[in-house]
Structure 1
Amino acid sequence: MNETVLAGIGQILLVVVALTACHVPLGDYLARVFTSERHLRIERVIYRVCGIDPIAEQSWRGYLRGLLAFSALSVLCLFGLQRLQQWLPLSIGHEPVAPDQAWNTAVSFTTNTNWQSYGGESTMGHLVQMAGLAVQNFVSAAVGLAVAVALIRGLSRNKTDRIGNFWVDLVRGCLRVLLPIAIVFAIILLISGIPQNFADPTVAATLNGGTQTIPTGPVASQEVIKELGTNGGGFFNANSAHPFENPSAWTNLIEIFLVLLIPTALPRTFGTMVGDRRQGFAVLGAMSFLYLSSLALLIWAELSNPLNMEGREVRLGVIPSAFFGTTTTMTSTGAVDSFHSSYSPLGGGLLALNMLLGEISPGGVGTGMYGMLIVAILAVFIAGLMVGRTPEYLGKKIGPKQIKLAAIYILAMPALVLIGTGLALAIPDARTSILNAGAHGLTEVLYAFTSGANNNGSAFAGLDANTPFYNVGIGLAMLFGRFVPITAALALAGSFAEQGHTPESPGTLPTHTPMFAGLMVGVALLVSALTFLPALALGPIAEALS
């Protein structure tokens, strides 16, 4: 084993140790944040200004109405900022964003997707980057966190129709969780060489006698929350492959750590809030197995093809790039530090499969947690069918209503991915955007709609997505891919909260054991394999075998 491989493995172990150290304190802190009856002074001011009663809790329908209203307002505000940016301060000469692209971007950042069909430094002014995109990085992550907490409350409460207050959860997620961590790590990134300024672009002379314009801006403040909030949108077109967003191996590790920090702590929060921390360990075990298996396979696939340097980030190396790629596709983070289209066919297929699993291992901020709980519900139901007993999870019976809601959650993303991919291949004008023929071209399109429908946002490259078809089509995929599953998750929270607690019996399936964690892994893989194997066989698998 050569020194490069050992160094790469050492970096992985360093991040794992750091995450392990943060798991208990951060997980318990998150549980305290969302169960405390105390409101901070600044929170009380926000509630008073906005006319919010923080004491009043909501049913799942009220919680959903508040979430949808806030998200709709976010889309409208971000769309308006882009269309009016030429008249705004700090526009640095940029023209208004085209309507279809402004729609796509507004939906993208509101849904925590951060899909970008534009180059940030050549399209967005500083005010739009800060007041629009960076703000949405905070609040869209807080929305996902709120839904996860609401579902956990539904599982832990009995005979009530209340699952919390969306506005309180949103404010606490921003002010008590995301903002403090972001401030600390923004300073660290600033010290590490990431710029934060409003300076004019630098014009540099090149070696061949030409000139190059090098823009900078408020990069560090956006970089930190794009990773911490599992968002992923880049200030620059090259995203985290750009040296101003990710200047060194050290910052690469920091960014990976930030992406995984909250998702890996949430299982502890779950276990604490339901009163059985063993349940959290089972969820974390299933997440970890899927993540580490994917990472090992991707490293093997890329090390087996060492001569292919196209699209590789030579500053970092193969293993750190694979580490970053696995992390961002296993979460809902669209950041890239190397370009996935240039990975080996099996490597690119694995990155797509990570998203096709539903981004549950560990998933995005909040979204991974409630996604894995849906998988747990399905696993209990399947196990109940096997032994002929009424399935129960944490003392809650899983009947026809709960399974229908879980099925809606599970089927929404595959429907969007497959319908979108099919339309893109069937419409002649859409096919002109595919820059590579054959199986690789199919993988590009499949990856694009997978990224949108899963609210990931990473791009495979090699696809011209800045067209009316892709801006509108992927925008719709992001919109329905975000809010249909959220609706199902909140409806499940309400249905569980209305139930009483069913005591354990000799026939109750233990859901805190390694066996149940393995069952969750099996269900997640089985659902994805049955749904997407034909598409993967025609794309990355066919390319690998050719």
Structure 2
Amino acid sequence: MTANGWLQIALFALVILALTKPLGLYLFRVFEAEEKPAPRLFGPLERGLFRLCGVDPRREQGWVGYAASMVLFSLLGVLVTYVILRAQHLLPLNPQHLPAVPADLAFNTAVSFATNTDWQSYAGETTVSYLTQMAGLAWHNFTSAAVGIGVALAVARGLTRQPGPEGAKTLGNFWVDLVRAILYVLLPISAAVALFLVATGVPQTLAAYREVTTLEGGKQLVALGPVASQEAIKMLGTNGGGFFNANGAHPFENPTPLSNFVEMVLIFAISAGLTWTYGRMARSQRQGWALFGAMAFLFAVGVAVLYRAESGPNPALRGLAVTQTAGNLEGKETRFGIADTALFATATTDASCGAVNAMHDSFTPLGGLVPLVNIQLGEVIFGGVGAGLYGMLVMVLLTVFIAGLMVGRTPEYLGKKVEAREMKLAMLYVLVFPLVVLTLTGWSVVTPLGTGSFANAGPHGLSEALYAFTSGAGNNGSAFAGLNANTRFWNVALGADMLVGRFLMMIPALAIAGSMVGKKAVPASLGTFPTDGWLFSALLVSVIVVVGALTFFPALSLGPVLEHFLAAGGKVL
């Protein structure tokens, strides 16, 4: 570890902190204020889209209507993308004449991008055409991110709103939130970032791949394509699906340390801004900063542990004639170094992004443990755009309930009582994730259909399987790349994993919001546990860690933890 490395990490944290309020204010104006930003520019486009889609922006939905619209829209997106993937050999903008994507891989990919997971069992430059990249995958990068933002706002409204006229219990309109998220937020920022990336050397072209002569005199086919446009929304929308197989380690996706820094900032930007937006919706900015503080603490711990682990030698190389004074450089790009690699890996797994600028499979055992734990904590450390906020709010209700038990009072949050119905739904939300991950992981390590894809035996092989299903259910998309996931078993199992992790967690969160929105807030009393200070943030962090530890610690003990002790010279008794 070096002072320069810590300085880069500190600079990143300061930039995120500086962006949180202005971006949060902008998001509040887009979704909650009467006067929208740049009305002359966006106003006519918004009204035209609403008329085209037959949407009345004044008509709101209850939680059932909101959830039904969200699920139907997402599943329709799966179908459209599946058709594009299967028919890409018949469609234009396929200069490399790539064949149709096999059915199981097409299903996995369509589900992956529709759920904001962007898990890729294939190499992008050798599998999907330009049209598929743009109309199938980049389109989902916008829509799936917008869906997450909409659900987060709906849950926030449920907690912060009072019952409407005549007892109305609405959470907004899914279609309105979807359009505004894309039109006001994702499109303009992505367009600006895409131009920046082009200036740094990222390709943006529809020209065919180019054959070049190398310095050694050989021939090499260099993949090109509309990369910059997809890269921008890939990072801003915490999608993570790379145009190339090497993802953010590829020089055409992430050419310089400057582009690397900007892409990392994009990963956290909207998720951090939404905490400030939530504070404004709750009419108390301290509520938003309490959430931000808990997220920031968990992020800081993760990046410190990962940086320390990767700055030391890799124990697997002990005894070999390899100098490791610079740390564990296997699977890393020297243009980024240890610090930026550790920072990128922490950010991308905190925020369910899944983009990588190094191979997590090559990390030390404890280094690989950090990204895995980040996802297993529920993707609430800033989390995906929207998903991090509504996941954290569910954890807030659990924390409030536990605090209420401690002081012997009916738990309250923002003046609303948290009762049995909300706790049942919160426990459903919490239990779905480990249930699907551990069940599918256990199945994969005892059936030849699963074990036949492992590149490693023993604890590391278990870690590969555990990481895959954790990443899928957490809608992250990163991987321990030693696993060959492009088989029928893995494509179908991971597809089901991603669907459950997305929709069977979104729906309970919306149901909680629907239950809370109808409750009237009561004034705070002397017995009310405050939820806007450092003590609550500390308790919130403890609940998040305990929930993750209780559910996943046994599996982690048999995977990366055991691998660490074996690499250090231990023996299995």
Q: TM-score, normalised on structure 2?
A: 0.93
8 Å contact from structure 2 (residues 142, 237) kept in 1: yes
Return 27-36 or 480-489, whichever deviates more: 27-36
- 1:55 alignment partner in structure 2: 58
8 Å contact from structure 2 (residues 194, 232) kept in 1: yes
Q: Give the superposed CA RMSD.
A: 1.1
- 2:129 alignment partner in structure 1: 125
Q: CA deviation at 1:210?
A: 3.0
**What is the number of residues matched between the two proteins?**
543
Aligned with residue 383 of structure 2, among 342, 359, 363: 363
Aligned with residue 198 of structure 1, among 203, 206, 225: 206
Q: Deviations over 1:138-187 (max 9, x none)?
A: 11001000011001111111223111000000000000111111111111
8 Å contact from structure 1 (residues 434, 464) kept in 2: yes
- Are 2:47 and 1:44 equivalent residues in the alignment? yes
- 2:27 alignment partner in structure 1: 30
Q: Secondary structure at the match of 1:212?
A: strand
Q: Residues of 1 paired with 2:11 and 2:201: CA distance?
A: 21
Q: Deviations over 1:312-332 (max 9, x none)?
A: 212210111000000001111
- 2:319 alignment partner in structure 1: none
- 1:143 alignment partner in structure 2: 147
Aligned with residue 222 of structure 1, among 220, 223, 230: 230
Q: How does 1:443-454 map to 2 (within 5 A)?
A: 443-454=463-474
Q: Residues of 1 paired with 2:425 and 2:217: CA distance?
A: 63
- Are 2:164 and 1:165 equivalent residues in the alignment? no
Q: CA deviation at 1:51?
A: 1.4
- Are 2:113 and 1:106 equivalent residues in the alignment? no
- Are 2:274 and 1:271 equivalent residues in the alignment? no
Q: Residues of 2 paired with 1:428 and 1:16: CA distance?
A: 45
Q: Residues of 1 paired with 2:111 and 2:211: CA distance?
A: 34
8 Å contact from structure 1 (residues 358, 454) kept in 2: yes
Aligned with residue 518 of structure 2, among 481, 484, 498: 498
Q: Residues of 1 paired with 2:559 and 2:109: CA distance?
A: 28
Return 157-166 or 56-65, whichever deviates more: 157-166
- 2:425 alignment partner in structure 1: 405
- 1:21 alignment partner in structure 2: 18
Q: Secondary structure at the match of 1:53?
A: coil
8 Å contact from structure 1 (residues 417, 449) kept in 2: yes
- 1:483 alignment partner in structure 2: 503
Q: Residues of 2 paired with 1:182 and 1:288: CA distance?
A: 25
Q: CA deviation at 1:458?
A: 0.4
Aligned with residue 188 of structure 2, among 180, 184, 188: 180
8 Å contact from structure 1 (residues 334, 457) kept in 2: yes
Q: CA deviation at 1:484?
A: 0.8
- 1:12 alignment partner in structure 2: 9
Q: Residues of 2 paired with 1:396 and 1:340: CA distance?
A: 43
Q: How does 1:320-359 map to 2 (within 5 A)?
A: 320-359=340-379
8 Å contact from structure 2 (residues 329, 338) kept in 1: no
Q: Deviations over 1:58-117 (max 9, x none)?
A: 010011111111101100000011011011111220111000000000000000000000
Aligned with residue 77 of structure 2, among 67, 74, 78: 74
Q: How does 1:466-477 map to 2 (within 5 A)?
A: 466-477=486-497
Q: Residues of 2 paired with 1:389 and 1:262: CA distance?
A: 36
Consecutive unaligned residues of structure 1, counting only runs of 5 or more, are none
Q: Residues of 2 paired with 1:95 and 1:11: CA distance?
A: 44
Q: Secondary structure at the match of 2:445?
A: helix
Residue type matched to 1:95 in 2?
Answer: P
Residue type matched to 1:477 in 2?
Answer: D
8 Å contact from structure 2 (residues 378, 474) kept in 1: yes
- 1:456 alignment partner in structure 2: 476
Q: Deviations over 1:220-251 (max 9, x none)?
A: 00001000000000000000000000011111
Q: Secondary structure at the match of 1:266?
A: helix
Q: How does 1:295-314 map to 2 (within 5 A)?
A: 295-305=303-313, 307=324, 308-314=328-334
Q: CA deviation at 1:208?
A: 4.6
Consecutive unaligned residues of structure 2, counting only runs of 5 or more, are 37-42, 315-323, 567-573
Q: Secondary structure at the match of 1:84?
A: helix
- 2:541 alignment partner in structure 1: 521
Q: Residues of 2 paired with 1:316 and 1:438: CA distance?
A: 31
Q: Residues of 1 paired with 2:8 and 2:297: CA distance?
A: 19
Q: Deviations over 1:492-516 (max 9, x none)?
A: 1111111111221111100001000
Q: CA deviation at 1:396?
A: 1.2
- 1:234 alignment partner in structure 2: 242
Q: Residues of 1 paired with 2:300 and 2:422: CA distance?
A: 31
8 Å contact from structure 1 (residues 142, 170) kept in 2: yes
8 Å contact from structure 1 (residues 11, 253) kept in 2: no
- 1:85 alignment partner in structure 2: 88
Aligned with residue 95 of structure 1, among 66, 79, 99: 99
Q: Secondary structure at the match of 1:204?
A: strand
- 1:510 alignment partner in structure 2: 530
Residue type matched to 1:73 in 2?
Answer: L
- 1:318 alignment partner in structure 2: 338
8 Å contact from structure 2 (residues 29, 35) kept in 1: no
- 2:156 alignment partner in structure 1: 152
Q: CA deviation at 1:6?
A: 2.5
- How high is the sequence identity, in percent, across the aligned residues? 52
Q: CA deviation at 1:38?
A: 5.6
